[in-house]
Amino acid sequence: MSDTAPLGKVVVFGVGLIGGSFALALKAAGQAAEVVGFGRTLGSLTQALELGIVDRAGFNVGQEVSNADLVLIATPVGTTPEVMARIAPCLGSQTVVTDAGSTKEDVVEAARACFGERIGQFVPAHPIAGAENSGALAARPDLYRGKQVVLTPLAESSELSIARVRSAWEACGGEIRELAPAEHDRVFAAVSHLPHLLSFALVHDLARRDNRELLFAYAASGFRDFTRIAASHPEMWRDICLANQKALLEELDRYREQLDELRDALQRGDGASLEATFDVARTARREWAESKTRT
């Protein structure tokens, strides 16, 4: 416990990779006097305690939330509305709530339904820091260092709430960005959710063939990188797809049109068109990689 920390009590729902790393980073930065964790299972909570991720395991939501300065909801996205419903009646007047979900419009909708007049105390957020591993064991204090954290404040979000959430993520090492919730969901449908769906689709299609062993035997480094995200968590990605259904359907339809164009070019043996498409892609991919190196 630190009496000089900017934040008094921080409550984290979900003590896995995302919530656990947030807790560790805040503690390492001396930003929180006390971190209290809630978990879905006693096992994960015990593990988080043993690893020093949280100072205490919480049992009474009302007691812990009513006098907390900051509450992070980092449970699987599908359970966010349920956690919001549990904490909404107990929010203290100074309590600020944020989340870490990969989609934002659904979270905003749930928050409006749950928090009512207290909606100004909620600031949606999305730290862009995934990993193939999950759970408390995977948590580490530097997970967010140099990573983008997108805040999608509402018109009602109070200045104090936004400032508190922003400085907490900054203390974790995050680089803060701001987008409107709908814009956030459209952007991530294009650069994250669609690629995941495409990668899952390829591996699923190969895996259900009779000659899958032959095929996988010759898969090499290109396949390895293209399909790395197909090893992502099925439940988490089910929830993301459903939560961002509208934007993802639009991206999927756009992509199918793009594939149709390439198919037509291939069918008619139009090498110039194929090469032009590949060339635009390569140039864009290289420029992107260089811009990432610079920052």
Question: Which residues, 217 to 256, sit near its own copies by CB under 8 A?
Answer: 218-235, 237-239, 241-242, 245, 248-249, 252-256
| Both structure tokens of 259 | 């594939």
Does position 284 bind its own copies by CB under 8 A?
yes
Q: Which of 56, 233 has the CB closer to its own copies?
A: 233
| Site mask for its own copies (CB under 8 A), range 84-123, x = bound | ----------------------------------------
Q: Please tell me the distance from the alpha carbon of residue 194 to that of residue 220, in angstroms, as a whole number.
A: 23
Tokens of 94: 């100074």
Binding mask 168-207 for its own copies (x = CB under 8 A): ---------x---------xx-xxx-xxxxxxxxxxxxxx
Distances (CA, A) of 134 to 20, 96, 232, 241, 282: 10, 26, 10, 19, 33
* Burial of residue 129, with CB atoms counted within 10 A of its CB: 0-12 exposed, 13-18 middle, 19 or more buried: buried
Sole binder of its own copies in the list 1, 85, 163, 281 (CB under 8 A): 281
- Measured from the CB of residue 205, what is the shortest distance to its own copies in angstroms? 4
* 71 Cβ contact list (under 8 Å, min separation 6): 10, 11, 12, 13, 65, 87, 95, 96, 97, 98
Instruction: Kindly indicate which of the ranges 8-16, 86-94, 157-165, 215-223 contains the residues binding its own copies, using the contact rule CB under 8 A.
Output: 215-223
Based on CB atoms, which residue is closest to its own copies, 160 or 259?
A: 259
Chain-centre distance for alpha carbon 179: 15
Q: How far is the CB of 138 from its own copies (least distance, A)?
A: 15
Cα dihedral across residues 51, 57, 61, 66: positive or negative: negative
- In the complex, the smallest distance separating the C-beta of residue 128 from its own copies, rounded to whole angstroms, is 5
Residue 79 or residue 158: which is nearer to its own copies going by CB? 79
User: Is 214 a binder of its own copies (CB under 8 A)?
Assistant: yes
Q: Which of 208, 210, 250, 294 touches its own copies (CB under 8 A)?
A: 208
Q: How far is the CB of 165 from its own copies (least distance, A)?
A: 19
The contacts of residue 114 (CB under 8 Å, 6+ apart) are: 81, 84, 85, 88
**Residue 79 near its own copies by CB under 8 A:** no
**Minimal distance in Å, beta carbon 166 to its own copies?**
18
Q: Which two tokens stand for residue 221?
A: 């480094």
Does 289 help bind its own copies (rule: CB under 8 A)? yes
CA distance 295 to 290: 9
State which of residues 28, 90, 128, 138 lies at the interface with its own copies (CB under 8 A).
128
Residue 145 binds its own copies, judged by CB under 8 A: no
Q: Near its own copies by CB under 8 A, which window of 107-115, 152-160, 164-172, 284-292? A: 284-292
Q: What is the dihedral of CA 75, 81, 86, 90, to 10 degrees?
A: 100
